């Protein structure tokens, strides 16, 4: 999963540090402000097998998805 984080120049390092603490890796840093804003991309790789495993567990437990009660 990739997310572009845009923040005010004064908060750039703090926001970057917060995302690193949460397990993201930073890419494409743009620390020089454009119109007062800086940005960076954070990436976190989650194995696809965890998503499939979660869906299987929900199906086995009888939990319904986002579509509601059919």
For 7-20, how does the pLDDT look when each residue is reduced to its tens digit (9 = 90+)?
999 999 999 999 99
Domain that holds residue 38: 2-60
For 23-68, how does the pLDDT look when each residue is reduced to its tens digit (9 = 90+)?
999 999 999 999 999 999 999 877 655 677 777 777 787 765 555 5
Q: Which of 18, 17, 16 is nearest to 28 (CA)?
A: 16
**Where do we find the tokens 């954070």?**
42
DSSP-assigned states of every residue in 17-65 = HHHHHTT-EEEEEEEEEETTEEEEEEE----HHHHHHHHHHHHHTT---
Q: Is the pTM of the predicted complex or chain greater than 0.75?
A: no
In a domain, 49, yes or no: yes
In a domain, 69, yes or no: no
69 vs 63: CA distance, rounded Å: 10
In a domain, 70, yes or no: no
Number of domains comprising the chain: 1
42 and 7 Cβ atoms separated by less than 8 Å: no
């Amino acid at each position: 999963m990739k997310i572009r984080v845009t923040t005010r120049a004064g908060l750039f390092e703090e926001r970057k540090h917060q995302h690193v603490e949460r397990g993201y890796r930073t890419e494409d840093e743009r620390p020089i402000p454009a119109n007062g804003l800086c940005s960076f991309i954070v990436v976190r790789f989650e194995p696809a097998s965890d998503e499939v495993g979660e869906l299987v567990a929900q199906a086995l437990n009888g939990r319904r998805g986002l579509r509601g009660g059919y």
